[in-house]
Structure formats: C-alpha cells, structure tokens
Amino acid sequence: MADDKLIEAKAVSKAFAGVSALTEVDFQLRAGEVHALMGENGAGKSTLSKIFAGVLLADAGAVYLEGRQVRFLNTKEAAAQGVTIVSQEFSLIPDFPVAENIFLVDEAYYKKGFISNKNAMVRETYSLLKLFDMETYIDPYEHVRQLSVAQMQIVEILKAISKKARVIILDEPTAALSANEIRLLFDLVRRLKAENVGFIIVSHKINEIYEVSDRITVLRDGRLVLGGVKTTELAQTDLIKAMVGREVNNIYGVKAQTAQKFHDKKVIFEAVNICDRRGYVNNICFQVHEGEIVGISGLVGAGRTELVRCLFGADKCSKGEVIVNSKPIKANTIRKSMKNGMGFVPEDRKFDGLFQELSVSFNIAITDLIIHTFMFVNRKSQDRKCMQKAEELGIRLNNPETPVKSLSGGNQQKVLLAKWLLLEPRVLIVDEPTRGVDVGAKAEIYAILRQLAARGVAIIIVSSEIPEILGLCNQILVMREGRITGRLDAAQAQEELIGYYATIG
C-alpha cells in the first residue's frame, strides 16, 4: 500500500528570521491512519502542521496531496481541498454563537455575507453535537465567550469535521479536555478513520498516543529522528529517548510525603467558606502549611478554576475570606493578593496569562511592574532577570525581546511560570501547570515546584492529570459541583479513590 499516501512532506524546511525551525523533514500520512507527531517543545511540530494546513509556507521542499504537489497560500485553500487544522491557538470568534462559528461563511447558510438560513444551521450544529454525544453539553446558541476551554476545543473540532475534511490535523486537541471528553473525541477519530480520513495528532500525553495512533514520527530540533514507526513496535522508553535525546526516568519522582508531616508547621494560606458569585464554588475551606503542596483534583467543570480565581482575587467572592500568613485579605483583588505574597499561574495563557504581541522580557517583568507601579523600568536589568529565569526553566531563548507569540506553546507555559517565580511568592497557585509541556520540561517544572515547597512556599495545584497530583501533592482535595467531596492524604491517595470522589462521593 505504498500509493495510498494522503499527504506528504518531502525535505521540507522552514526558518523564522534566519533561525531554522524545520530542516529537510519528510513525513507521510496514509488514508485512514492516525499518525502522531511527537517531540519536545519547540521541536517543530506545529510548524510542520501549519505548513500542511496553509498557515505557513515552506521555504524549501514540497508538499503533496494524494500525489499532487500543492502549495496552499492560506487555510481556506487548504480547507477547500480537504485539509484542516485544529490548532493550539483558538480561531473562534468569542462574540458569535457556536453554530455560527462552526458554519462561518459556509455557502449553505450564508448569502452575500449574511446568514440566510439560521434554523437549518442550528439544526445541523445540533446533529453534529449529537454525533459527538455533546448535545446536552454544548448549546448551538451559546456564545463562544461563555464556553469552557474544553467546550471551545470541541467546537473547533466539530468545525473541521463539518468541512468534510480528509486530512485533519489536531495540534494538542486533548490538552484541555477531561478523560470523558477525550474518550468521546477518540471515539469520533476512530469512526472517521474507518471512513478513510487521515489524522495527524500532536500531543504530549504519551499514554494517549499509544491508545489512538497507528504510527509515530518524532522531531527533534526541527529534524526527523524517527519517521513513521508503527506504534505497536515502539517502546515508550525509546520514544521518550528519541524525543529528548536522553533517558527520562520516573518523571514524577518519588511519591509525595504525607500531609501529616506538615501539621505542626505554620499555616501560610487559609480559605474560609469561599463562595463565588455564580454558584460554581460553594463553601470551600482548606489550609496549606509552610512547604506543603495541595492538589485540587476533579473533573473539568467541577469548579476548580473558578475556585482558584476567587482565591487570587481574579474573580470576586460572594462570601468567605482568604488568609495569608495570618492576615485576612479583605475584598481581595489581584493587586492585594500579589502584595500579600500570592502568585497565580492561570490555566489559559492566551486569554489572561500573557501579552502575545509583547516581548518575553516584558511579560516576565510585568508582575513586578503591577506590584511596584514603576513608571520606568531599567530595561537592562529586566532583560538580565528574564534571561536568568528563562535559563532556570530551560526556555530556549536567543533574545529577551522575542515576542511571546513566536515561542512554541510549551515554552509560553514556562514564561508564564517564570514571571511569577520572579516575585518569590509565599503562596503559589498554579492551574494546569504542565498543559502542553513536553516530558522533559514536565520533569523540570515538577522539580521547580518541589524546590519552592522545600523553601517554605505554600503551593496549590489544580491539575487534571492524576499521576501529577499523586506524585506532587501532600494533600489532595477532590471537587465536584463546586464542593470539596474528598480530602485525601498522600499516604492514602489512589487514582480510584480520586475518581470515586470526583464522580459520586
């Protein structure tokens, strides 16, 4: 079956401002297969995906679609020939409803730029949602702005599917999805696969890749390291070695110590009866001791992000109090929280984490600016601090003036962490800290969080990855429908127990 190649790259190269992102990469996708594209942050996975989908043009080499050379100038051209991408960066319009986002400018529903048949469009959206078992989860009329990250991701995928794509590129489709949503997505992938659709999937979640992919290609520093090896014939350890160029053992390290160890330490952080204004968070109480790491687990939608946003003052509480170092922070605002030694790494780097157009240096320094209200900054010392933090976190950066948007997704996540570390917080709240981060960097982030804790910082982690919670946290709070349904000590915590409290307990 040598001639069933759906899309193919031959010796494709691409550089940005003279820096090479891809060097003579070959890649082949067959009809009806799921082909995983793997590699560290910055390896070139998104760049290759974008070249296939018409977002970027290759500098050299060629792309073939069913044996015919193509050169897509934009995503519209690619989509017209059946190639679509669901990318790391969302392309939805926040103020439009779901249905209009999916069928934007679709000729069946638009005449001269206006919607001609809204009812049919909503009906079609509904049947798409139903196909995905999502009809109770997403409302076709709802504005995208109101959706969770997970829901937005699903709308993006439905949009690609609605275009009858033959090649669907999923660039980290599951980073923001819960286990159940991932299962639904993979079911759909398998169904479309049987209809000969080909998928290129990028993900840092190795278990998933083993579950869903047929073959694996690995890039490192923009070069091909492994080309289209059968998933069943590649051991996980060899895959990781190919990606990072060295062995990574035991990324979660040892199992976290029991919370009892911290009981006679000082209470650094306390949440008392926290409620939010929208009813997603109900009477939450817990304490974090000096040097303790507390994990918040639960399903997507359980209220975890809403809770930590309240704790930090990013959203208003309707009731309750946050106490840091025995001092109540009344009517908390972000600025007050920061002044009292709290740091917060939000879940969504695009919307509230980073200024995409501005430099890495500025983004790292901004927290400092907010706190100290400096009108003038010493650019040199700002750049120096930035490079130092970047190096500590393994962000490969040639120049601190690089705009954030030109960094790979995982490296953006590290910039977000870096800017908070610079403040040396007493309490650090991190929401999904390793989303989109490669295995090597994950291990680095865990090490950083452990070091901070060892220095006495109280750490609160929201994470959907249970191994991450089990490996790092001394105390685990499980949330469901805005309440804490389970409190587990590291000594007794197990995946099944967390699952129990997250769904029924």
Order across the sheet with 327-329: list the strands.
Answer: 284-289, 267-276, 317-324, 327-329
**Binding residue (CB under 6 A) for ligand ATP from 213, 408, 434, 464:** 408
**Are residues 10 and 61 in contact, defined by beta-carbon separation less than 8 angstroms?**
yes
The rounded distance, in Å, linking the Cα atoms of 228 and 26 is 10
Residues within window 424-453 making contact with ligand ATP, judged by CB under 6 A: 438
Q: From the list ligand ATP, Mg ion, none, pick the one residue 42 interacts with, judged by a Cβ distance below 5 to 8 Å according to partner type.
A: ligand ATP
Tell me which of ligand ATP, Mg ion, none is bound by residue 410, counting a contact when its beta carbon lies within the kind-specific cut-off of 5 to 8 angstroms: ligand ATP
Residue (13 or 406) nearer to ligand ATP, CB: 406
**Region near Mg ion per CB under 5 A, out of 38-46, 142-150, 382-390, 466-474:** 38-46
Of residues 409 and 440, the one with the C-beta less far from Mg ion? 409
Q: Which stretch binds Mg ion (CB under 5 A): 44-52, 114-122, 299-307, 390-398?
A: 44-52
H or E segment to which residue 101 belongs: helix 98-102
**Identity of the residue, 258 or 406, whose beta carbon is nearer to ligand ATP in the bound complex:** 406
Q: Does 174 bind ligand ATP (CB under 6 A)?
A: no
Q: Segment 189-208, which members bind Mg ion (CB under 5 A)? A: none
Q: Is 43 in the site for ligand ATP (CB under 6 A)?
A: yes
**Residue 45 interacts with ligand ATP (CB under 6 A): yes or no:** yes
Binding residue (CB under 6 A) for ligand ATP from 34, 39, 382, 471: 39
For 173-183, letters b (16+ CB in 10 Å) and e give: bbbbbbeebbe
Residue 416 burial (CB count, 10 A): 22
- Give, to the nearest 10 degrees, the angle between helix 149-162 and helix 179-194: 10
Contact residue for ligand ATP among 34, 42, 217, 297 (CB under 6 A)? 42
Dist CA 105 CA 96 (whole Å): 13
Could you say whether residue 173 binds ligand ATP (CB under 6 A)? no
If one asks whether residue 46 binds Mg ion (CB under 5 A), the answer comes out as: yes
Degrees, nearest 5: CA angle 137-140-145: 85
Amino acid symbol at 184: L
What stretches of 107-222 adopt beta strand conformation (E)?
A: 110-111, 114-115, 167-171, 198-202, 215-220
Closest CA to 434 of 413, 404, 419, 408: 413
Among 367, 411, 463, 475, binds ligand ATP (CB under 6 A): 411
Residue 409 in contact with Mg ion, rule: CB under 5 A? yes
Residue 379 half-sphere exposure toward CB, CA atoms < 13 A? 3
Residue ranges binding ligand ATP (CB under 6 A):
16, 21, 39, 41-47, 88, 406-411, 438
